[in-house]
Amino acid sequence: MLYEKYLHVIDEKKDEFCAVSDALWDNPETAFGEYYAVDLITKKLEENGFKVTYNLSGIPTAFKATYGEGKPSLGILAEYDALEGMSQVACETEKKSIPGKDKGHGCGHNLFAGGSLAAAFAVKAYIEEKGSGSITLFGCPAEEGGAGKVFLARDGVFNDIDSVVSWHPEKMYMVRTRPSLANVVVDYTFEGIASHAGGSPHLGRSALDALELMNVGANFLREHMELTSRVHYAILDAGGNAPNMVQSHAVVRYMIRGVDSDTVKNLWERVDRIAQGATMMTDTTVSSQVVSAYANLVTIPTLQATANEAMHDIPLPVPTEEELAFGRALQKTVTLTKEQEKKPPFAMEVLDPAPPVAHGGSTDTADVSWNCPTVQLHIGNWAIGTPGHSWQAVSQCRGSYAKKSMLYAGKAVAGTLIRLFENPELIKKAKAEHKEKIGDGYICGLTADVKPVIQPKAQ
C-alpha cells in the first residue's frame, strides 16, 4: 500500500475518529444549528496544530481548518448535519425511535465528519515530513436542503483551493461519476380573503384553492418537460385546520431540478406561470422566495482516475460474522433486486468508475465543483439495498462496520490527496479539465439577498 506510513496515522488514532463519529450520532443537529459538531471537530483540529477560521460567510457553524502553507493547496469537505424525523435506536434491525428524540443521521454525516477528520490528520503527517503545501478541511453545514456550501461558494471560500477530495456514505465502493442535477427551491405564498365557508363563502377567496390548483398544474407539467428534469413540492402551510373557513393564507415549497442551471431557470419560469394562473382562477395573489439553489456537478476525469487508484490500493474492511448477520437482518426490511440477493450484505470490492448515467439527486458539493476541481468517493458504509434517509441508515451509522469503512474512507481520501501532492502534473491537468468544463465560470444560483436561516445556539 502506497504512503502507508502516513495512512497508518488513521489506524493509530482510530478510536479518536470513531468517538467523534459516535458523539455526532448521539447528538444530532440539523441545518445551521450544528454547534456541538463544530465545537467537537474544531477542538480536535486545533489540538493537532490546524489553524481554524470560524464563522465563514457569517455562518456560525461553518469553518475551515488549515495545516501547512503554500502550494499546492488542497481541500477536504466535512458534513455533520442530521435530518428531522429520523429518530432511531442504533444497531437495531427493526424501526424503533428513541423517546424524546426526533433527529437522526440518516445520511451518514456523522461518519462523513469522522472520516474527513481522519484524512486531514493523515495528510498533515505527510506535510510535516515534506514541508510544503497545505491541506484545508472545510466544515460544511446544512447539506440537507440548506445549501450550506452554496453560501460558501458564493463568497469565494473555495477559490484558492487547487483541488478538493470528498466522499459520502453509500452502499458501494466506487469513485462517483454520476452527474447531479442543478435545482432551485422556492416557497410560493398565496394570499386570499378569509370568510365563513358556510355563511358567506361568496365573500372569501381561498389561498388553499390556489395552492391546490398550482399543484394540479405542476403535475400536468410533468408530461411536457425533459425526462431528466424533476418537480417536487411540499405544503408548508395549508392555512389552518378548520374546514368551515375560507383559508386566506397558504404556502407551498417547490424543488425544481434539471441537468444544468439554464434548464432549471426555464422550467422554473413555467412553474411561476402556473402559480400566476392559479391566482387568476381564484382571485388571489402569490409571492415567491428562493430558499436555496444548487448547481450541477462538474466531474474531473483526472481526479476520478487518481481516486480510483487510491481506492484500489487500500484493503477494504472485512466484516465479521456478527456484522454480516446484522447486514442480512437489515436487508430483510428493504426490497432487493435478484442480483443484490445473490451478493454478500456488504460490498466486497472496489468497482471501477462506471459510465456517467442520469441521476435524479442534487448536492451542494456541485457548487464547490464549479469553483475548483472536485472528486467524490462513494464508500460502502451501509448494507446493499439500504435507502439513504431511512431508519435503516440511521441504525447502521453507529455500527461497527460503518466505522471500519469510515476509516477506509479516511485512508482513500488521504491517499488521493497525497498522490496529488506527489504528482503536481495531475493537479495541473485537473485544473485544465476544470477550466474547459466550466466555460464562462460559476454563477451562483443564490442572489445576495438570500441568507441562511441560522438556528440560535441553545443556552
Q: What would you measure as the largest C-alpha separation in the chain, in angstroms? A: 82
Rounded to two decimals, the pTM is: 0.94
Q: Which residue has the higher pLDDT, 458 or 166?
A: 166
Residue 358 has pLDDT above 70, yes or no: no
Model confidence over 119-156: pLDDT tens digits?
A: 999 999 999 999 889 999 999 999 998 999 999 999 99
- Output the nine-digit C-alpha cell for 179: 452527474
Q: Strand pairing of 173-175 and 350-351?
A: parallel
CATH number (3.40.630.10, 3.40.50.300, 1.10.3720.10, 1.10.150.120) of 4-178+297-438 reads 3.40.630.10
DSSP annotation of 201 reads G
Question: For residue 89, which of 26, 18, 36 has the smallest C-alpha distance?
Answer: 26
Question: For residue 398, which of 28, 86, 91 has the smallest C-alpha distance?
Answer: 91
**Which positions ≥6 away from 415 have C-beta within 8 Å?**
2, 3, 7, 310, 311, 313, 314
- Pairwise CA distance, residues 304 & 314, whole Å: 16
**Other C-beta atoms lying within 10 Å of the C-beta of residue 248:** 19
Please report the pLDDT score of residue 238 as a whole number: 98
Domain limits of the chain?
Answer: 4-178+297-438, 182-293
Q: Answer yes or no: are the C-beta atoms of 42 and 35 closer than 8 Å.
A: no
- Percent of the residues in the chain that have a pLDDT greater than 90, as a whole number: 97
Question: For residue 346, which of 174, 171, 167, 106 has the smallest C-alpha distance?
Answer: 171
315 exposed, middle or buried (CB, 10 Å; 0-12, 13-18, 19+)? exposed
Residue 194 has pLDDT above 90, yes or no: yes
Angle formed by the axes of helices 400-422 and 4-12, nearest 10°: 150
DSSP letters, 366-414, are HHHHTTS-EEEEEE--S-TTPPSSSHHHHHHTTSHHHHHHHHHHHHHHH
Model confidence over 32-49: pLDDT tens digits?
A: 999 999 999 999 999 999
Residue 3 has pLDDT above 80, yes or no: yes
Q: Answer yes or no: are the C-beta atoms of 416 and 167 closer than 8 Å.
A: no
- For residue 458, name the pLDDT band (cuts at 50, 70, 90): confident
Residue 68 has pLDDT above 80, yes or no: yes
- Pairwise CA distance, residues 128 & 5, whole Å: 12
Model confidence over 306-332: pLDDT tens digits?
A: 999 999 999 999 999 999 999 999 999
Please report the pLDDT score of residue 178 as a whole number: 86
Please report the pLDDT score of residue 361 as a whole number: 86
- Pairwise CA distance, residues 229 & 260, whole Å: 10
Residue 360 has pLDDT above 80, yes or no: no
**Other C-beta atoms lying within 10 Å of the C-beta of residue 1:** 12
**Which positions ≥6 away from 77 have C-beta within 8 Å?**
116, 137, 138, 140, 149, 164, 166, 365, 368
Residue 259 in 3-state DSSP? coil
Residue 222 has pLDDT above 80, yes or no: yes
DSSP letters, 409-422, are HHHHHHHHHHHHHH
Give the chain's mean pLDDT: 96
CA angle 164/165/171 to nearest 5° reads 145
- Percent of the residues in the chain that have a pLDDT greater than 70, as a whole number: 100
Look-up of cell digits 428534469:
229
End-to-end CA distance of the chain: 48
CATH number (3.40.50.261, 3.40.50.300, 3.30.70.360, 3.30.70.260) of 182-293 reads 3.30.70.360
